[in-house]
């Protein structure tokens, strides 16, 4: 079967799946976009993408067939799986969504179909976990269908590095399936494809990408803690070091989201299965996971220098998403700051105009405040520097009392712009 004759279905229409589905729909006829969330499908049909990654016009003119009915997958013969791969509370891999998607596809799977996974997993998971589920649900033997893997590289909020503009790593379980997968992705990805030597190599490449970034940010966070004790600003150090041609430009901050703060645990889980206890990777994870609590304790030390009780302090936190200028709250570390402050009797006001208040209440049990509520503050934490916050820094800083402190987590402000009546701190 030629690649142009393939009937493509994308399973999972979140931050990753929707751009993938739309891209294929621009090139292939009859592409199906499936999601189990009927509300998500309904809003997409109305031209509304809550992730903010897709323009309404793109949704209105696409030929993509949006559905939450598995019956619409019957005619598909190439499936692309883009469902979340989170971790449990004990930080062990949660394959629930992936297994659920595999069961759903397995019930429709036919001989010679191909199933490509984009969800981040540890090396071996596609063949060892997903393959058997597909075979069991379909009643087919493993030789009757083919597996593939092509790790997602979507960066929320980044319109420059879109799906079509990032080199796509692809791999199939044999030469024939690899050729088909490479041709199909190559027809839509302008940047081209890189053919990995095996599915396991492609899986490992993905977890390495995010583990490397996680470790580099952990190094910067540790540097920030040291710089504070020395009495110098981390940003000044990084600007000086950055003049060297091969210096890697990472910065300190809170590490959340669906990738960097999660994916390393998939790699370490596989390593431990094989009898190796990772040291460097887990050390980086411990540093990054601890930053919310460290920021909160530093805040408490500022309040402790004032005569009023901690319970009377007015603290405001700007931003709740895992990164600036996106509405994504998954695995945000800002709630860690709130939780730690609460243990000291401090009840901060949290505001973020980009997020869904009901979703925040459901996910974190937090009731958001309006920006108007954040006034007469003792401490203001600029946790996530959205453009909306930085558009008027004078208004933002006016929310503080004289003698108050602004905590600039990501060093988005210039110390010289801070009024002399205020105190300034940054990582």
Task: Give me the residue spans of the domains in the chain.
Answer: 3-197, 214-426
What CA–CA distance (Å, rounded) separates 176 from 181? 9
> How many Cα atoms occupy the beta-carbon half-sphere of 4 within 13 Å?
0
pLDDT for residue 107? 97
Pairing of strands 423-426, 400-408: parallel
Instruction: Give the CATH H-level superfamily of domain 3-197.
Output: NAD(P)-binding Rossmann-like Domain (3.40.50.720)
Q: What is the pTM of this model?
A: 0.93
pLDDT mean by block of 10 residues, the chain; 427 residues: 80 95 95 97 94 87 96 97 95 97 98 97 98 98 97 84 93 97 97 98 97 97 97 96 96 93 96 97 97 98 92 97 94 97 97 95 96 97 97 95 96 95 96
Query: What is the maximal distance between C-alpha atoms in the chain?
Result: 77
DSSP-assigned states of every residue in 121-164: --TTHIIIIIHHHHHHHH---GGGSEEEE------TT-SSS-GG
pLDDT for residue 200? 98
pLDDT for residue 1? 58
What CA–CA distance (Å, rounded) separates 381 from 333? 13
> How many Cα atoms occupy the beta-carbon half-sphere of 55 within 13 Å?
4
What CA–CA distance (Å, rounded) separates 35 from 155? 20
pLDDT for residue 139? 97
Hey, what are 202's tokens?
């492609």
pLDDT for residue 3? 64
Hey, what are 222's tokens?
């540790």
Query: How far from 251 is each of 178, 248, 406, CA to CA, in Å?
Result: 38, 10, 19
Architecture of the domain made up of 214-426: 3-Layer(aba) Sandwich (3.40)
Going by C-alpha positions, the residue among 419, 411, 412, 416 that lies closest to residue 234 is: 411
What CA–CA distance (Å, rounded) separates 411 from 249? 14
Q: What is the rounded end-to-end Cα distance, in angstroms, of the chain?
A: 56
Topology match between the domains 3-197 and 214-426: yes
Going by C-alpha positions, the residue among 221, 211, 331 that lies closest to residue 271 is: 211
pLDDT for residue 2? 55
What CA–CA distance (Å, rounded) separates 122 from 188? 26
Query: How far from 308 is each of 31, 342, 405, 417, 423, CA to CA, in Å?
Result: 62, 17, 15, 28, 17
Contact 370, 392 (CB under 8 A): no
Residues identified as active-site: 259
Return phi, psi of residue 407, to 5°. -105, 110
């Amino acid at each position: 079967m030629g690649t142009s004759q393939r009937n493509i279905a994308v399973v999972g229409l979140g931050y990753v799946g929707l751009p993938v589905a739309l891209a294929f729909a621009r090139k292939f006829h009859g592409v199906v976009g499936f999601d189990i969330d009927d509300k998500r499908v309904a809003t997409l049909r109305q031209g509304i993408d809550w992730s903010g990654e897709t323009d309404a016009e793109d949704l209105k003119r696409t030929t993509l067939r949006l559905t939450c009915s598995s019956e619409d997958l019957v005619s598909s013969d190439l499936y692309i799986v883009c469902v979340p791969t989170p971790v449990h509370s004990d930080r062990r891999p949660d394959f629930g969504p992936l297994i659920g998607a595999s069961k759903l596809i397995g019930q429709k799977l036919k001989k010679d179909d191909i199933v490509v996974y984009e969800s981040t997993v540890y090396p071996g998971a596609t063949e060892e976990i997903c393959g058997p589920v597909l075979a069991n649900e379909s009643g087919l033997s493993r030789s009757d269908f083919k597996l593939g893997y092509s790790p997602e590289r979507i960066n929320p909020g980044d319109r420059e590095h879109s799906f079509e503009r990032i080199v796509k790593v692809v791999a199939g379980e044999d030469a024939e399936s690899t050729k088909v997968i490479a041709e199909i992705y190559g027809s839509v990805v302008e940047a081209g494809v890189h053919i990995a030597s095996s599915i396991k190599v492609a899986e490992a490449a993905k977890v390495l990408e995010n583990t490397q970034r996680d470790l580099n940010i952990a190094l910067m966070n540790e540097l920030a803690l040291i710089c504070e004790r020395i009495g110098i600003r981390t940003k000044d150090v990084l600007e000086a070091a950055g003049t060297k041609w091969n210096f890697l430009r990472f910065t300190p901050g809170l590490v959340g989201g669906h990738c960097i703060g999660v994916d390393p645990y998939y790699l370490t889980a596989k390593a431990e299965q094989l009898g190796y206890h990772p040291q460097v990777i887990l050390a980086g994870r411990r540093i990054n996971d601890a930053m919310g609590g460290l920021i909160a304790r530093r805040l408490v030390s500022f309040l402790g220098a004032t005569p009023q009780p901690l319970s009377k302090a007015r603290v405001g936190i700007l931003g709740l998403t895992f990164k600036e200028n996106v509405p994504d709250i998954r695995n945000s570390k800002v709630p860690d700051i709130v939780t730690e402050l609460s243990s000291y009797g401090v009840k901060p006001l949290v505001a973020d105009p980009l997020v869904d208040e009901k979703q925040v209440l459901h996910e974190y049990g937090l009731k958001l405040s309006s920006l108007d509520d954040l006034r007469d503050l003792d401490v203001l934490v600029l946790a996530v520097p959205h453009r909306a916050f930085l558009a008027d820094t004078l208004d933002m800083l006016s929310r503080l009392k004289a003698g108050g402190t602004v905590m600039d987590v990501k060093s988005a402000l210039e110390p010289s712009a801070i009024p002399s009546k205020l105190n300034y701190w940054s990582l």
